[in-house]
């Protein structure tokens, strides 16, 4: 017991040896390899800077931002051009390095995808474009369904381009929807997610585990394209796909923790994966976007959570900084 002049003993009098605290984590730089920060507010982007984000990849491929339904190639092309148009200003405003991922996502059927694929080669040559994606087979589309073989062909074509241009591919792996719980009034849909769910098309994959089936098709596309596993980062890794991706491929897995309220993945899942498989092929991303309730501080918070869950500082540094640097061509 330490002598304190308090009138009676307080907790402080009973403290054992103080644990060593990981003060270096307070200033550990980190990289977010999957977000849509060009759609966020200035203040949200500032939150990235305030919490130590050193570099990020802003992904322009999402159908969420195309105003017209059905979606045509031109709509997606506009998203790419808009991101290119604004990227440098975002860097100048916030000081972090902002690079781009451009892709054809299959969350909605695009009427003339070949036009996009033809145009993509030249975009791949731009120094600010450091990856293709996000893309990946999805079990069900918004607005108009896209048959699964055609989806896979579009994913494979992008992987072939990635191979030619020596770029990594950011895969969008579908999360398995969690069962149970109440659902919201159908006319209001899910709060925090700007999506007209009444436009959901019938699923194109309807086996026991369509989310995993999609990932297997992506891996088949990767193999058929001849793209090295280590050039592929599977974002939205979760309980449902981790074992398959870890054991059957050499791909990287990135756990999306910026909208845990929707997909249920948290730093705890990341810690479990590190315990089981080591940190070598693991990353963490936020997927922050303006169409969804997301948290720009999520990755910084995860750094502290991982430590609390028993992950050591070297492993944390590897998953939030070093692995992204190895795979993506960031300058800093």
The per-residue b/e assignment along 230-267, b for 16 or more CB within 10 angstroms, e otherwise, is: ebbbbbbbbebbbebbbeebebbbbbbbbbbebbebbb
Check: CB of residue 252 under 8 Å from CB of residue 230. yes
CB of 172 to Zn ion, least distance (A): 6
Cα angle vertex 178, ends 174, 180, to 5°? 155
**39 contacts 289 by C-beta, under 8 angstroms:** yes
Collapsing DSSP to helix, strand or coil, 145 comes out as: coil
Q: What angle do CA 286, 290, 293 make, to 5 degrees?
A: 65
Report the site for Zn ion in 185-244 (rule: CB under 5 A). none
CB 287, min distance to Zn ion, A? 4
Whether residue 134 has a cis bond before it, omega within 30° of 0: yes
Q: Between 10 and 41, whose beta carbon lies closer to Zn ion?
A: 41
32 lines the binding site for Zn ion (CB under 5 A): no
Least distance CB 173 / Zn ion (angstroms): 11
CA-CA-CA-CA torsion sign (120, 214, 64, 261): negative
CA-based diameter of the chain, in Å?
A: 79
Whichever of 25 and 232 has its CB closer to Zn ion, that residue is 232
Number of chain positions touching Zn ion (CB under 5 A): 1
Residue closer to Zn ion, measured from CB, 238 or 287: 287
Q: How far is the CB of 202 from Zn ion (least distance, A)?
A: 23
Q: Which is nearer to Zn ion, 76 or 311 (CB)?
A: 76
Give the one residue of 99, 287, 296, 306 binding Zn ion; rule: CB under 5 A: 287
Q: How far is the CB of 273 from Zn ion (least distance, A)?
A: 20
**2/23 Cα distance (integer angstroms):** 25
Site residues for Zn ion, 299-318, by CB under 5 A, read none
- Shortest distance in whole angstroms from residue 34 CB to Zn ion: 6
Contact window for Zn ion (CB under 5 A) among 98-106, 149-157, 284-292, 311-319 = 284-292
In terms of CB distance, is 25 or 130 closer to Zn ion? 130
> In the bound complex, which residue of the shown chain has the CB atom lying closest to Zn ion?
287
| Window contacting Zn ion (CB under 5 A); options: 25-33, 46-54, 283-291, 300-308 | 283-291
Residue whose CB is less far from Zn ion, 135 or 152: 135
Nearer to Zn ion (CB atom), residue 57 or residue 315: 57
Residue 327's alpha-carbon distances to 64, 167, 288, in angstroms, are 27, 9, 21
**Binding stretches for Zn ion (CB under 5 A):** 287
């Amino acid at each position: 017991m330490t002598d304190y002049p308090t009138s009676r003993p307080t907790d402080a009098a009973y403290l054992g040896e103080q644990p060593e605290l990981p003060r270096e984590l307070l200033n550990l730089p980190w990289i977010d390899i999957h977000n849509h920060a060009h759609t966020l507010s200035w203040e949200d982007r500032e939150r990235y800077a305030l919490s130590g984000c050193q570099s990020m990849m802003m992904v322009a491929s999402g159908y969420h931002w195309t105003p017209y339904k059905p979606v045509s190639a031109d709509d997606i092309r506009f998203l790419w051009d808009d991101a290119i148009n604004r990227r440098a200003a975002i860097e100048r405003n916030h000081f972090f390095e902002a690079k781009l991922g451009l892709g054809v996502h299959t969350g909605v059927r695009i009427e003339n995808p070949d036009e996009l694929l033809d145009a993509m080669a030249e975009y791949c040559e731009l120094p600010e474009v450091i990856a293709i994606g996000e893309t990946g087979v999805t079990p069900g589309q918004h607005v108009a369904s896209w048959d699964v073989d055609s989806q896979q062909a579009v994913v494979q074509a992008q992987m072939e381009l990635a191979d030619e241009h020596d770029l990594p591919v950011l895969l969008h792996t579908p999360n398995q929807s969690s069962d149970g719980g109440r659902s919201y009034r159908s006319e209001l849909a899910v709060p925090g997610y700007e999506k007209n769910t009444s436009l959901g098309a019938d699923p194109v994959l309807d086996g026991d585990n369509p989310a995993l089936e999609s990932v297997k098709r992506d891996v088949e596309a990767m193999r058929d394209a001849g793209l090295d596993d280590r050039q592929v980062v599977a974002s939205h890794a979760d309980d449902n796909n981790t074992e398959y991706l870890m054991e059957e491929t050499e791909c990287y897995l990135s756990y999306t923790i910026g909208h845990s309220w929707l997909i249920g993945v948290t730093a705890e899942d990341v810690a479990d994966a590190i315990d089981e498989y080591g940190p070598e092929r693991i990353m963490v991303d936020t997927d922050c976007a303006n169409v969804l309730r997301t948290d720009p501080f999520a990755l910084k918070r995860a750094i502290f959570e991982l430590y609390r869950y028993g992950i050591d500082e070297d492993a944390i540094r590897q998953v939030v900084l070093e692995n992204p640097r190895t795979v993506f061509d960031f300058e800093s």
